[in-house]
Amino acid sequence: MPQRVKETIPGPRGGILGRHLTAYEADPAGFLEDCRRRYGDVFRFDTGVVVVTDPELVAEVLARTNRDSVPNANPLQGGRFPTAEQTRRWMDARQLAAPMFRSAALPARLPVVRDALAADLDALAGAWFDPADECWAICVRALLPLYLPDESPALVDAVLGAFDAARGAAEAAVRVPSWMPSRLRRRVRDADQRVRDTIAPMLDAGPAGRPDTLLEHIRAQSGEVPGDIAMGAMGFTLLGAIGTMGAAWCWVLYHLAAHPDIADRVREETAAATGITDDPARALPYTWAFAQEVLRVRPPAWLLGRDAVTAVTLGDVEVPAGTAIMFSPYLLHHDERWWPHDPRRFAPERWLDTARPHAPGAYLPFASGPRGCLGAHLGLAVLALTAAHITTRHRLDVPDLDAITTYFGPSTLTPSGMRARLTPR
C-alpha cells in the first residue's frame, strides 16, 4: 500500500472527502496551475500523490525511472509495482524494437507511412467526421507498415480493441484488488490476449513480402527471441504509440483550421519541397516546426507520472517510497518561466531559431529517460506529413472553432465537439 505523503509537503487538504477533487475535475490544468502558484513547484495533491512542476526536478524523476521509480502502477492489477524481472524484460522488448524507430532508419520506411496516411485522409474526403473518432485507426494503419510486410485488418481491429479497453479502464480510474472479479480487468485482459493471438502466428510463420519491418527484424536475430519479448516489441509498442500520436493528429487538424495563414505557409513549403520522406525535418522545416508547436500547445499525454519505489528527494522536499509523483507536460509547456516568448501564443516560428526556445527539460511531449517514447521522431514525421497532405490535397473545414473544448482525459488530451470535412482541391 502507498505510504502517506508527509504533511510537511504543502498542498490542498487531501483525503477521499477532499473538496479540491471537485475543483480539479472541473478544470484539471487550471487547478494544478493554481496549486503551483499557491504551494510551489512540489506540492501534495492528495494522499499518496505529489505533483512536480519544475523541469529540472521532472528530468531527475524521469532519468531515475527503473531505479528509484517505475511507471504508475496499473489500478486493475491492484496497484502493484512491476517486479525487477518484469521491468528488465520490458526494457529488453524496447531495446529489440528501438533500431527500427531511430531517425536514421526512417527515410527508407517513411514512404509507406506517407502512403497509408494519404489513403486514409483521401478516404475521409466529402463527409463530416469527428477527428477524435477517426484518429486512432488512422494512426494504427499508418504505423502498421513499419511492423508487418502486408496489411492485417485483424491486427488493426485487435490493437484498436485493446486500446479502447485500456482507455475505458483509465476513465473508470478504479483500483480493483487483484483477487476481486472485475469486468474491466477481464475486458482488458481479453483484448490484450486478442492482440497476442493475432501476432503469435505471424512470429511463428516468419515474414513474407517487404523485409524492412519489425517482424523481419525480430526473425533475423541471431538467437531465439523469447516470446514475451517479441510480443512486447511487436504488439505493445504499437499499442503504446497510438494514444499519443492519435490525440496529436486531432490537434493538427484543429490548428490548421484555426490558423489559415499558417496552413497557407505549410502548403507553399510542401509544394516547393523535394525529398519529403527522406528527411521531413530538413525538407519541411516550417511544417516540422508546426508539428512541434502542436505538441507544445496540446501535448497529448498531458499528465504523466512515476511511482517512487524508494524515498526520493526533490529539491528540499523528501517524498516517501510508494508516492505517485505526477507532472504535466501541459503545464510545463505553458509556463512563462520556462518559455520566454509568450507560451500562450501558437507560434511555429519559435522553433526555427537556432537557439532553443525553452528552458532545459521544459518540452516533454514524449517524456524522456529510459521509458521515453521510442518513436518521437516518427511521431513528428506523421504529424508533419499529415499537415503537408491536407494542405496540398484538400480544403479543410472545421466550423464553430470557438465551441471546441479541450478534454483533459486521464490518458490523453483531445478536442471535444469538433467536426471536420476534407474536400479535394
pTM: 0.91
**Res 346: pLDDT:** 97
Give 75's pLDDT tier (boundaries 50, 70, 90).
low
Is the pLDDT at 79 greater than 70? The verdict is no
Instruction: Quote the CA–CA distance of 388 and 230 in Å, as a whole number.
Output: 34
Instruction: Kindly give, in sequence order, each residue whose CB lies less than 8 Å from that of residue 279, ignoring residues fewer than 6 positions away.
Output: 107
Q: Tell me the C-alpha distance between 343 and 323, whole Å.
A: 31
For residues 41-65, average pLDDT: 92
pLDDT of residue 90: 81
CA–CA dist 292, 363 (Å, integer): 10
Please state the rounded mean pLDDT for residues 187-201.
90
* Residue extents of the structural domains in the chain: 1-82+302-364, 93-301+366-425
Write the pLDDT tens digit of every residue in 207-244: 666 678 999 999 888 888 999 999 989 987 888 888 88
Q: Which CATH class is domain 93-301+366-425?
A: mainly alpha
Give φ, ψ of 73 to 5 degrees: -65, 145
Q: Write the class of the CATH domain 1-82+302-364.
A: alpha beta
Mean pLDDT of the chain: 88
What is the helix (H) or strand (E) element at residue 34, kind and residue range?
Answer: helix 28-39
Torsion of CA 8, 11, 13, 17, to 10 degrees: -120
Do 70 and 87 meet the contact criterion of CB atoms below 8 Å apart?
yes
Backbone angles phi, psi at 70, to 5 degrees: -135, 160
